[in-house]
Amino acid sequence: MRRAAEEVGRAAGFVDLLINNAAIYLKKPFTEANEFDADMARRTFDVNAVGPLLVTKHFLPLVLAGSGKKIINISSEAGSISQCWRSREYAYCMSKAALNMQSVILQHRVKDDGVKVLAIHPGWMRTEMGGADADLDPSESASGIVETIARNSAIDGPMYLDYTGKAWEW
């Protein structure tokens, strides 16, 4: 991450928009509690929660130098505690809840610098993770995410949104 940020810094000097889009859906942690695999859960946390924070750590100086000043974490409805409907899938849900908490803490840290942080649920997409029965084509989600990012700049505005711009409860 550090080397990538250094290269971008040399080439451009700033970043207006940083999008952290990382997720893995490992089948084994999506089991019953008595079958929970801690090693796979740690791997899920490393990718889904720790990875985005490491990217942000190295790119934050470039975001602060930019004029757009937005950091976007692609989250999931699975990270909502108040709207949780799941009865398993521990590692994925817990990792996305951690990403949401990271987004809130980061927003508190960078708001005085004029940076807006968003956690966006991209919707249920027809991907390897979402499966063939999912509602959305990835291009529909991407278009909605672009519009949602463009419409949400207020530092004190909603932070946890879906791809249509609808606010979600934490």
Q: Which residues are catalytic?
A: 92, 96
Distance, in Å, from the CA atom of 31 to the CA atom of 29, rounded to the nearest integer, reads 5
Number of alpha carbons in the 13 Å side-chain half-sphere of residue 91: 24
Distance, in Å, from the CA atom of 127 to the CA atom of 146, rounded to the nearest integer, reads 19
The DSSP call for residue 120 is: E
Distance, in Å, from the CA atom of 3 to the CA atom of 82, rounded to the nearest integer, reads 39
